[in-house]
Amino acid sequence: MKVTIVDYQSGNISSVINSFTEVAKGKVNLEVTSNVNKIKSSDKIVLPGQGSFKSCVDSLNNINGLIDTLKEFAITKKKPLLGICVGLQMFADVGYEEVETEGLGWISGKVTKIDNQNGKFKLPHIGWNEIEIQKESKIFKDIKNKSHMYFVHSYEFVPDDRSVILATTDYSTKIVCSVEKENLFGTQFHPEKSDKTGLKIIENFIKL
């Protein structure tokens, strides 16, 4: 099986690479690339994302054919794809960080700034926070409800269809921190920085 981490120059993804390498333990062919032909031949894709919504979308657009290749992989062929942090946010139709920016449009919804209630809640939301699992999922297999995950973000994904929500976290409001729609999975938190629990989510995704 071939799992590809898409490296589209969106910031430092070394911790994502290290954690997937640790879980794969040589049993899985793990590739880090933005080569569209290599992505097409993958069984699963990981789409990380660091920085702003706009900068990540721009970086995807800067690589010829990448967005079309990802769409064919995830939407047409319905192969498993995991978006992490901004990688999840880009599933949305639109994001409002910096300027209004069109997303990938895979899961209807928008990405807006967390309501910090006039400074009552610090932004970015950084550190460990408890997640509340909303429904069963293969990527949360053997993950206890109210597990703690590691977050770094100021913006949240607000899906139109609430049924895609896998988990929420309390920070000012109930923030969507994981989604699942058919073959699409996303986490707002960083599983690669969330200790053994995060590694278990990575393992669950690889085993899908």
pTM for this entry:
0.97
Residue 192 is among the residues annotated as catalytic for this protein: yes
Number of residues that this document lists for the chain: 208
- Residue 10 pLDDT: 84
Selected catalytic residue, list 85, 97, 156, 203: 85
Residue 12: band (very low, low, confident or very high) from pLDDT cuts 50, 70, 90? confident
- Number of structural domains (the chain) is 1
What value does the mean pLDDT take over residues 165-176? Answer: 97
Range of the domain at 156: 2-207
pLDDT at 76 over 90: yes
What value does the mean pLDDT take over residues 13-25? Answer: 95
Tell me how far CA of residue 84 lies from CA of 27, 74, 192, in angstroms: 22, 15, 9
pLDDT at 153 over 90: yes
Q: 135-151 burial by CB neighbour count: b if 16+ within 10 A, else e?
A: eebebbeebeeebbbbb
- Residue 89 pLDDT: 98
Residue 67: band (very low, low, confident or very high) from pLDDT cuts 50, 70, 90? very high
Percent of the chain at pLDDT exceeding 90:
96
- Residue 147 pLDDT: 98
Selected catalytic residue, list 156, 180, 192, 203: 192
What value does the mean pLDDT take over residues 13-41? Answer: 95
pLDDT at 134 over 90: yes
Residue 31 is among the residues annotated as catalytic for this protein: no
- Residue 162 pLDDT: 97
- Residue 188 pLDDT: 98
pLDDT tens, position by position, 183-195: 999 999 999 999 9
- Residue 186 pLDDT: 98
Per the prediction, the chain carries an average pLDDT of 97
Residue 17: band (very low, low, confident or very high) from pLDDT cuts 50, 70, 90? very high
Sole residue written with tokens 């206890």: 144
What value does the mean pLDDT take over residues 134-160? Answer: 98
Sole residue written with tokens 């992989």: 73
φ, ψ of residue 6 to 5 degrees: the values are -80, 115
Which CATH number do you get for residue 184?
Answer: 3.40.50.880
pLDDT at 26 over 90: no
Residue 156 is among the residues annotated as catalytic for this protein: no
Q: Residue 53 is encoded by which pair of tokens? A: 């919504």
pLDDT at 165 over 90: yes
Selected catalytic residue, list 97, 153, 177, 190: 190
**Rg from Cα positions in the chain:** 16
